[in-house]
Structure 1
Amino acid sequence: MTRRIGSGKLVIATHNAGKLKEISALLDPYGVECVSAGSLGLPEPAETGTTFVENALIKARAAAEASGLVALADDSGLSVTALDGRPGVYTADWAERQWFEGEPGRDWYMAMGKVEGLLQAKGPDTPRDAWFSCTLALAWPDGEYAVYEGRIDGSLTWPPRGTLGFGYDPVFVPNGRDQTFAEIDPAEKHRISHRADAFAKLVADQFGG
């Protein structure tokens, strides 16, 4: 049996207040108090891994070692079948503006356009299958860890549709739906998403019978 978190304080390896709020809501029913790495003043480690698992573990281990507490990190992204799984772990990097593209920061419309441009360059019959992945990594200060992986499959559409999501959500249509992630009610998206899949596995393992 996997080592259990138990109730108490859990460091969420993020400096993103929105992500902390979302994860806290998911774990609150289990008596877990979530604090962010940002609120503890912990530095953000360089994500040098080449897989979602490697990057999630880098973040979780860094937070656990620096805080002395159990830490949880996630790494997620979009993979496109016809692009050999890209952007994958570089999902956010594709949105980073270059020096000639304006002020520093992320431009997700630009990132969606890069994906679409590559697909169109391959021709009109190119398959548009894609999937979102989410990897959750738990790390204990003594080095023990656990990993949970979630996924949702779908296809890409163009032009982008919807205003409810973020990132690549406006071009991703989950299988069995006709709306993009950015058109689906956020509560419903959270119920069916790759992150929900990963969290369901974490909860079953950590808090199940």
Structure 2
Amino acid sequence: MLLPTEQAEAAPVLRTGSQSGDVWDLQFRLDLLGFYNQKLDGVFGQQTATAVRRFQYQYGLPVDGIVGARTWSMLKKVSVNQRELDILAHVVYGEARGEPYTGQVAVAAVVMNRVQSSQFPNTVAGVVFQPRAFTAVDDGQYWLTPNGTAYRAAMEAVRGWDPTGGALYYFNPRTATSDWIWSRTQTMRVGKHIFAV
């Protein structure tokens, strides 16, 4: 596994005929978002081009079926690759196993909300491994093996389900030691966690 602080390098321009691991990553992201439903094969064919155009249209990008800097930037903002999905599932399992399913999705949604916020790092790894950001990372529970429910919750959050209403924080009121966290506007409570902006 790559170190959490490593940033993803800029991906190359991809178009019909491209064949690489970057195409596999593209297909994975498009599949996760519901735009691509074919076998992931690392070959940029007509089905991949159609999925790219559908993604570009939905996100207000130029619809050309070519994956350049703008399309990659948007894809990375609203989706994850396999490694990032693994990180997200580890956070969900470490922080919220035993919580209601909605609460598990809510934890993943907070991570995704932070990725999209200018107040936090712009990658899943950057958010998760930011110092003192998540108790499960600090106490080692992050390294437990996530179950299928944690992966499903992570995928639902990536696909856009945010039961928190845009929360950037959550905490357990029974164990929270920071007075600052109580000053945040609370959006909801699920199980043992309060979610806040």
TM-score class, shorter-chain normalisation, is under 0.3
Structure with greater proportional helix content? 2
Structure with greater proportional strand content? 1
TM-score when normalising by structure 1: 0.25
